[in-house]
């Protein structure tokens, strides 16, 4: 619509100019008018092409921007994107169940990062999954269980913080965090930290949870 107004304006201006130059001849020469129309059409076409190019460039820029993340991808997470630490997750689980800690885990389930806390009492086992964003309960389950094995129990305070263990694993592998598990293995309290190392694939770093030292690294 705007281009039609521009064309009409150009035609009117051309008519006035030609009338003034032609004296008694009130009508502009048709060839001159055609030339003005062609020039205006070329200008309009160039202008439309420039607008289309700008729109395409803007859309591509928006798509590229939306595809970028702050350090987390579908199967890895940056430590700074975890809003609550593991100790807070254990405390939240303990408020809902009176029992002993058996396992704590950070994992990605159905594109949602969660803490999984496993606890047990002499008669029941309790498993809760908490969002790392706000510690809201994603899923919880309580079932009867008489397999009360004290060799598996531990207090989170007996371990170095999970965040410290993760940093140790990242420094060791120069990779990205895929998750971790804290539990007892053959009586030893330890972290199993899963890392993604770019083109080199995945690796697992076993860390002594009591002193924070690396036990082994599996590529």
Residues 203 and 219 sit within 8 Å (Cβ to Cβ): yes
Total-model pTM: 0.67
Supply the mean pLDDT for the chain: 79
Reply yes or no on whether the pLDDT at 20 is more than 80.
no
The CA distance from 145 to 134, in Å, is 29
Query: Would you give the DSSP letter of residue 150?
Result: G
Q: Give the position of tokens 């994107």.
A: 81
What's the pLDDT band for 219 if we cut at 50, 70, 90?
confident
* Model pLDDT for residues 173-212, shown as the tens digit of each residue: 999 999 999 999 999 999 999 999 876 689 999 999 999 9
The CA distance from 205 to 181, in Å, is 11
Query: What region, left, alpha or beta, does residue 140 occupy, with left being phi > 0 and alpha being psi -120 to 50 degrees?
Result: beta
* Model pLDDT for residues 26-74, shown as the tens digit of each residue: 444 555 545 544 555 554 555 555 455 555 544 544 444 333 334 566 6
The CA distance from 32 to 116, in Å, is 81
| Spatial CA neighbour of 95 closest among 49, 50, 135 | 135
**Which residues, 6+ apart, have CB-to-CB distance to 129 below 8 Å?**
109, 114, 115, 116, 117, 137, 138, 139, 140
């Amino acid at each position: 619509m705007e281009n039609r107004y521009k064309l009409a304006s150009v035609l009117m201006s051309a008519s006035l100019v030609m009338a003034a130059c032609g004296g008694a001849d009130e009508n502009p020469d048709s060839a001159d008018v055609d030339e003005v129309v062609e020039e205006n059409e070329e200008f309009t076409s160039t202008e439309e092409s420039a607008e289309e190019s700008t729109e395409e460039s803007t859309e591509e820029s928006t798509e590229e921007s939306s595809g970028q993340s702050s350090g987390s991808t579908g199967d890895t997470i940056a430590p700074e994107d975890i809003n609550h630490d593991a100790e807070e997750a254990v405390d939240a689980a303990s408020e809902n169940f009176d029992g002993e800690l058996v396992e704590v885990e950070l994992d990605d389930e159905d594109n949602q990062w969660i803490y999984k806390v496993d606890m047990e009492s002499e008669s029941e086992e309790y498993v809760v999954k908490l969002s790392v964003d706000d510690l809201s309960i994603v899923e919880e389950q309580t079932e009867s269980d008489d397999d009360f094995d004290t060799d598996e129990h531990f207090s989170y305070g007996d371990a170095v913080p999970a965040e410290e263990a993760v940093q140790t694993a990242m420094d060791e592998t120069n990779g990205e965090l895929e998750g971790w598990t804290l539990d007892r293995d053959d009586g030893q309290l330890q972290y199993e930290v899963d890392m993604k190392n770019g083109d080199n694939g995945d690796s697992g770093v076993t860390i002594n949870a009591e002193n924070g030292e690396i036990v082994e690294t599996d590529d």
